[in-house]
Amino acid sequence: VIKTADWIVDLGPEGGHRGGQIIAEGTPEELAANPDSHTGRFLARLLPDAKAAPAARKKPAAKKPAARKKAASKNSKNAA
């Protein structure tokens, strides 16, 4: 599934308190060429020509952030 994605955001570098940082983002080919990405190293084995220029893929259009209405009051209701 990952190797056929249009765009990937790789979070890490590990899980838990050592994670949560954006390590890499881009096409599968771009991640495969990134030595800092665990996902990219895995993809490099699946995409033999990953070192070549990435396939012409359309980058996702920038979207406006989703509007949140009354989210705080609804999410914190009955919180312990």
List the chain domain ranges.
Answer: 2-55
3-state helix, strand, coil in the chain (%, to 5): 30, 15, 55
- State pLDDT tens for residues 30-40: 999 999 999 99
Burial of residue 27 (CB within 10 Å: 0-12, 13-18, 19+) is buried
DSSP 76: S
Please, what's the b/e burial string for 28-53 (b: 16 or more CB within 10 A of its CB; e: otherwise)?
bbbbbbbeebebbeebbeebeebeee
In this prediction the pTM is 0.56
pLDDT number for residue 40: 94
pLDDT number for residue 18: 84
